[in-house]
């Protein structure tokens, strides 16, 4: 039996594609960009002093390409008692359009404070909105293992409700958020519930 040339060519193409697929899988990521939010308490209340403007937490936000690994400073946000105190924009959020991004939350201090948690939750919401406005998708939010439960609970104060995925049933969420810890052994789905604004 003679082997046809096109059959050999097809077999070679399949083998080469398998090796290429393995290399691609090794470097594959479910998102194109990582946006890092790093909180730091920069001002603490002094003893026997007016603590009206403390503690102040700084959230440094930067983004990097998964493929290239380069980093760009996006903005700094200052928070006081859970409220936005100031914003300093360094560069536009230049991710392109139709890209998937992950938010990674880090904490610079040795001890996680409630002010850190509030700043992290508000920063997550802000970055999520920025991504949607720029035509991009938030794939996941990754937080440190020790801060998972605190940030999970604080997100409910930002209008997010916990959501349990129904087994075997289709569902659609217009504004969904997926939270997970670095060890990938804890996670939580959220959906956003608009709050009524009273005049």
Q: Which residue has the tokens 């005049």?
A: 199
Mean pLDDT score, 151-164: 93
> CA-CA distance, 37 to 30, in Å (whole number)?
19
When pLDDT is averaged across residues 87-108 and rounded to a whole number, the result is: 96
DSSP character at residue 28:
-
**Res 163: pLDDT:** 85
Any domain includes 18 = no
Average pLDDT over residues 163-176: 76
Q: Is residue 16 part of a domain?
A: no
Residue 99 placed within a domain: yes
Domains: count for the chain: 1
Tell me the average pLDDT across 176-191.
94
Does 187 have pLDDT greater than 90? yes
Q: Tell me: pLDDT of 86 over 70.
A: yes
Judge whether residue 30 has pLDDT over 50.
Answer: yes
**pLDDT given at position 109:** 84
Host domain of residue 104:
31-192
Whether pLDDT at 127 is above 80:
yes
pTM of this structure: 0.79
pLDDT band at 20 (very low <50, low <70, confident <90, very high): very low
Look at residue 6 and tell me if it is in a domain: no
To the nearest whole number, what is the mean pLDDT of the chain? 83
Q: Is residue 14 part of a domain?
A: no
The answer as to whether 159 is a domain residue is yes
Q: Does 151 have pLDDT greater than 90?
A: yes
CA angle 12, 17, 23 (to 5 degrees): 135
The pLDDT, as a whole number, for residue 23 is 44
Q: Which pLDDT belongs to residue 29?
A: 73
Distance CA 62, CA 72 (A): 5
Biggest alpha carbon distance in the chain? 96
Q: How much is the pLDDT for 50?
A: 55
């Amino acid at each position: 039996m003679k082997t046809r040339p096109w059959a050999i060519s097809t077999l070679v193409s399949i083998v080469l594609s398998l090796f290429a697929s393995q290399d691609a899988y090794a470097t594959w990521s479910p998102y194109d960009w990582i946006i890092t939010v790093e909180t730091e308490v920069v001002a603490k209340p002094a003893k026997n002093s007016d603590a009206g403007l403390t503690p102040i937490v700084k959230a440094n936000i930067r983004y990097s390409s998964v493929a290239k690994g380069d980093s760009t400073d996006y903005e700094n946000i200052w928070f006081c008692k859970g409220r936005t105190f100031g914003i300093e924009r360094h560069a536009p959020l230049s991710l392109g359009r139709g890209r998937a991004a992950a938010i990674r939350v880090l904490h610079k201090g040795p001890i996680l404070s409630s002010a850190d948690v509030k700043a992290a939750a508000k920063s997550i919401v802000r970055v999520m909105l920025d991504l949607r406005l720029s035509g991009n998708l938030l794939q996941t939010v990754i937080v440190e293992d020790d801060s998972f439960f605190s940030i999970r609970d604080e997100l409910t104060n930002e209008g997010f409700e916990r959501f349990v995925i129904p087994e075997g049933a289709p569902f659609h969420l217009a504004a969904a958020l997926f939270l997970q810890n670095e060890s990938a052994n804890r996670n939580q789905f959220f959906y956003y519930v608009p709050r009524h604004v009273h005049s």
